[in-house]
Amino acid sequence: MTDAVRIGNMSGFYGDRFTAMREMLEGGELDYLTGDYLAELTMLILGRDRLKDSSLGYAKTFLRQLEDCLGLALEKGVRIISNAGGLNPHGLAVAIRELADRLGLDAQVAFVSGDDLLKDAKKLGLGEPLTANAYLGAFGIKTALGRGADVVVTGRVTDASLTVGAAAHAFDWGYKDLDALAGAVVAGHIIECGTQATGGNYSFFTEIPMGHLGFPIAEMAADGSSVITKHEGTGGAVTVGTVTAQLLYEVGGPRYLNPDVTTRLDSVELEQLSPDRVAVRNIRGENPPTDLKVSLNFLAGIRNEIDVVLTGLDIEAKAKLFEEQFRAALPDEPAELGFELARTDRPDGTTEEQASALLRVVARDPDPAKVGRPFSAVAVELALASFPGFTLTAPPGNGSPYGVFEPGYVDAALVPHRVTQPDGVTVSIEPSPLRAAVPADEDTAVPPATDFGPTTTVPLGTIAGARSGDKGGSANIGVWVRSDEEFAWLDQALTADRVRELLPEVADLTIRRYALPNLRAVNFVIEGVLGRGVADNVRFDPQAKGMGEWLRSRPVPIPTAFLPANTLPANNVTKEN
């Protein structure tokens, strides 16, 4: 037991900054260091790796980082927790033990498993996927640390569980400590994506000292409150804004479900204590859900695509001609064939690129023959027989496999959550005895209209920040402002229907709206905009990372009293009453 523990993060995805582990270990004091390597798409990638070689299925980068830093971590007494085990945490644990022996280090390694439900997927009603992994909670990690593990690797635990497990061990929390667990879930969610909490992907990045951003640290207290910070002298900043942005990333309604607790995001309170120190307090926790979410990836077939360049005049007519010719020439049309015209051209463009549009042609089918060589050959054969100026951005290929993501749900009692200790003993982790049905979040009602005075039509992002991301086949956009008065306006002005008007691509989709007054934020979940998940989606922005910035760029009437002087009508904007 201790007064506070410092839990750092050094990875937000598989491919994040390789040197971050050493930077975090050398940059200042830490008790624990977490690394998040998994995402829905990553599980598909690891699944394909495992098909080629059954000994793979884990994040190889993590092992290379440990080769450089394991000795340093042991010297400093920093315990490392990571989900880099992916589909093969046992294999990664063995590789780490072999690495430690080769380096002459005495490292105690444990691994958490049981999330892989592939062998029982059909029996559990999950179909026949390529991967099937339940999102486990934090108590396997807590148990491993309690038995002396220096390194704990897991499979598919929830991202926040890396932090929750460390804090639960440090303060000896149990399943009944719901508020404390919820506080650690919030801290874990803030730091899990690395530098997104210190200025990365931040709407108001021009206000941040950007460059080589530092990774975040959560200073956890025994009651579940935390202070988010970073090592002194590192780039970026930790502000109420950067923390708010990350809190809104890839969330839905006020209830944020985890295996050990349901966290009330609408209870979170933030306060800027000093430069690069933000307090996170008063989080409430409720009973966790009965079921665990399961990440399911299916190999769906072969996808092929070509990008056709259309230059100058008659863009629409050229696109229409090519589509008609292409469809007519195909020997066998694929199951899915789409043509999407991106009008990137400008009138009287001063460069050829500025005068050109792109026509993307995408084909998908379970049969490789329908989207492989015959599909590509048709595009090539039309080179001299179609519209003037015909060219492609690249020679067409034979296509590649693609997958689709589906969420599944399984009673937590049916998932064998296990931890194998450094001494080789395997312990079973029982699910929370507090599991219960969780009420569905209801869309937040729009408050009655209030007169905020004269308005000026400027981009929404003049006063509002946004963070967006993928949630399976859906996307979320969290929008926030920086004063109570601005939130009162935002809450009534930014409705689901207004979002449909501002983002015509989503006009026909279901949009859920949730207000989070403590964060001065409104979160929108746009259902189905990403189809069957990131790996299947061919949208321009397949992970919806830029959707929030698109929304910020759209002009809306904003109360003039909220606007900086340099956005008033003298700068060619429209003033309205």
The token pair at 437 is 């049905």
Side by side, the strands of the sheet bearing 574-576 are 555-559, 455-459, 574-576
Antiparallel, parallel or unpaired: β 79-82 and 32-35? parallel
- Among 21, 467, 12, 7, smallest CA distance to 194 is for 12
Measured CA to CA, the distance from residue 199 to residue 209 in angstroms comes to 8
186: exposed, middle or buried (Cβ count in 10 Å: 0-12, 13-18, 19+): buried
All structural domains of the chain with their residue ranges: 4-289, 302-402, 455-576
Under a CB-based contact definition with an 8 Å cutoff, are residues 552 and 203 in contact?
A: yes
Residues counted in the chain? 577
Antiparallel, parallel or unpaired: β 277-281 and 269-274? antiparallel
The 10 Å Cβ neighbour count of residue 369 is 13
The token pair at 36 is 């998040």
384: exposed, middle or buried (Cβ count in 10 Å: 0-12, 13-18, 19+): exposed
Q: Please name the residues in contact with 502: beta carbons below 8 A apart, sequence gap of 6 or more.
A: 460, 551, 554, 556
End-to-end CA distance of the chain: 60
pLDDT in tens, the chain (577 residues): 458 999 999 999 999 999 999 999 999 999 999 999 998 778 888 888 888 888 889 999 999 999 999 999 999 999 999 999 999 999 999 999 999 999 999 999 999 999 999 999 999 999 999 999 999 999 999 999 999 999 999 999 999 999 999 999 999 999 999 999 999 999 999 999 999 999 999 999 999 999 999 999 999 999 999 999 999 999 999 999 999 999 999 999 999 999 999 999 999 999 999 999 999 999 999 999 999 999 998 888 899 999 999 999 999 999 999 999 999 999 999 999 999 999 999 999 999 999 999 999 999 999 998 998 889 999 999 999 999 999 999 999 988 888 888 899 999 999 999 999 999 999 999 999 999 999 999 999 999 999 999 999 999 999 999 999 998 889 999 999 999 999 999 999 999 999 999 999 999 999 999 999 999 999 999 999 988 775 566 677 888 999 999 999 999 999 999 999 877 655 444 444 4
User: What's the one-letter identity of residue 469?
Assistant: G
Measured CA to CA, the distance from residue 392 to residue 208 in angstroms comes to 40
User: Which residue bears the tokens 């108590």?
Assistant: 139
The token pair at 470 is 């993928």
Measured CA to CA, the distance from residue 555 to residue 456 in angstroms comes to 9
User: Which residue bears the tokens 């890839």?
Assistant: 250
Q: How far is CA 153 from CA 81, 85, 173, in A?
A: 6, 6, 21
pLDDT score for 55: 83
Measured CA to CA, the distance from residue 110 to residue 149 in angstroms comes to 6
Q: E strands, 489-547, where?
A: 511-516, 521-526
The SS3 assignment for 553 reads helix
Measured CA to CA, the distance from residue 478 to residue 465 in angstroms comes to 8
The CA dihedral of 363, 364, 369, 375, to the nearest 10 degrees, is 0
Q: How far is CA 491 from CA 203, 461, 464, 567, in A?
A: 19, 15, 12, 22
Under a CB-based contact definition with an 8 Å cutoff, are residues 250 and 217 in contact?
A: no
The SS3 assignment for 390 reads coil
Measured CA to CA, the distance from residue 407 to residue 516 in angstroms comes to 25
Under a CB-based contact definition with an 8 Å cutoff, are residues 156 and 136 in contact?
A: yes
Instruction: Determine which helix (DSSP H) or strand (DSSP E) holds 49, and give its type and residue range.
Output: helix 40-52
Under a CB-based contact definition with an 8 Å cutoff, are residues 157 and 260 in contact?
A: no
**What does CATH list as the number for 302-402?**
3.30.70.380
The SS3 assignment for 440 reads coil
> Which alpha helices (DSSP H) does 128-264 contain, by range?
139-146, 161-171, 178-191, 240-247
Q: How far is CA 104 from CA 53, 64, 99, in A?
A: 28, 16, 9
Measured CA to CA, the distance from residue 99 to residue 92 in angstroms comes to 10
Measured CA to CA, the distance from residue 48 to residue 159 in angstroms comes to 22
* Residue 121, phi-psi category: left (phi > 0), alpha (psi -120 to 50), beta (remainder): alpha
Instruction: Determine which helix (DSSP H) or strand (DSSP E) holds 248, and give its type and residue range.
Output: none
